[in-house]
Amino acid sequence: MNFDSFLGNTAVKRRISEAVLRARLPHAIVLQGERGSGKRTFAKLMARALVCRAGEAAPCSRCPACVRALAQSHPDIRIEQGSGATHSISVETVRNITLDAYRMPEEASLSIYLIFIENKISEAAQNKFLKLIEEPPENTLFIFTCQNAEMLLPTMRSRVEILTLLPPDPEEAAAHVIQKYDMDPTRAKELAVLCDGNIGRMLEENDDAKLQGVRDLSVALVQNLTKTGGHPLLEVTAPLIKDRRLCADVLARVHLIFRDACVLRSGGKSLLGGAVQEAVGICGLTMKRMIQLPQITQRYRRLLDRNVNMTLLVTSYCAEIRSILEN
């Protein structure tokens, strides 16, 4: 199948292509990946390829089936992304999907259900889904997307194939947004590094005011690392507790500043964090402590994808950073 338009993730694309070629496509797939990694984009691309009539060259983007899929009007592709402020998937939603799933496909060889789990799905709704995917209707495929499959019940995870989508290489991501979105090359390269090649986040962060806010908070956090009296780190990081996305962006830039400090200490010159003065200021620490700073920050960035309590996460991060500096 032709998934060239989706950057990176060669193993995932090969897995799906081979499964289709051998007629061994799973009846239920979970695409997991961080916010902005392209889960929904790839799910829709898969669906379009499966209804396309171009064979191994699918999706062709030209046939009537592809045109309808691109317009989100194909009768055999259903999209469900929850409701309400949290876009949660309810029991009622699953009940409606179940009733619909037993209909025969109208044009394609199978019916495809794209279930986008934005924030959460209740245990009751998952149990309802479980009954559906345990004995799925013939000619039906369910594609779920979520940031982390750990949010699903073990019984759900055991009955689906979980595929992880990763951002492309930052250089590849920068080239893509420059060509497709006509983004300024310098800005594109900066955002590609800041967002680790995550194209979705790059497009979100392409805002001068927001980018400056991330820079200011990141620099303030680093500047307050060694300050004593009161709780300077907690005060600086307070805005992160209320904004998960801001927290992710700030930790990404702080990670780069810590990384730059290690590079400078080792005699290198390739800096990425955009805060040279702050990176130089950290160089007074021992190398052992300096190496731990980016490692800890990266670990907490990963924890953000697991829907952990933000107050606990930010407080724990500050405490662990302080512990490294004081011991």
Mean pLDDT by 10 residues, the chain (327 residues): 88 92 90 89 94 87 92 92 74 90 90 87 89 88 91 91 92 92 88 86 77 85 77 86 86 88 84 80 84 90 81 90 81
What does DSSP say about strands 28-32 and 161-164: parallel, antiparallel, or unpaired? parallel
CA dihedral 14, 16, 18, 24 (to 10 degrees): 160
Show the DSSP H helices in the chain as ranges.
Answer: 10-21, 39-51, 64-70, 91-101, 123-134, 154-157, 170-181, 185-194, 199-205, 208-223, 232-241, 244-265, 276-282, 287-303, 310-326
In this structure, are 297 and 230 located in the same domain? yes
In this structure, are 54 and 155 located in the same domain? yes
Q: Which domain holds residue 251?
A: 207-326
In this structure, are 196 and 244 located in the same domain? no
In this structure, are 219 and 290 located in the same domain? yes
Q: 304 lies in a domain?
A: yes
pLDDT of residue 151: 86
Structural domain ending residue among the three candidates 107, 133, 164: 164
pLDDT of residue 252: 87
pLDDT of residue 228: 67
Cβ atoms within 10 Å of 284's Cβ, excluding its own: 11
In this structure, are 87 and 223 located in the same domain? no
| Three-point CA angle 202, 208, 209, nearest 5° | 115
In this structure, are 17 and 110 located in the same domain? yes
In this structure, are 84 and 107 located in the same domain? yes
pLDDT of residue 229: 64
In angstroms and rounded to an integer, the radius of gyration of the C-alpha atoms of the chain is 23
In this structure, are 14 and 160 located in the same domain? yes
In this structure, are 115 and 144 located in the same domain? yes
pLDDT of residue 155: 92
In this structure, are 214 and 317 located in the same domain? yes
pLDDT of residue 190: 83
| Three-point CA angle 191, 36, 92, nearest 5° | 160
Look at the chain and report how many structural domains it folds into. 3
Q: Which amino acid is at 160?
A: V
Burial class of residue 53 (count of CB atoms within 10 Å of its CB; 0-12, 13-18, 19+):
middle
In this structure, are 81 and 25 located in the same domain? yes
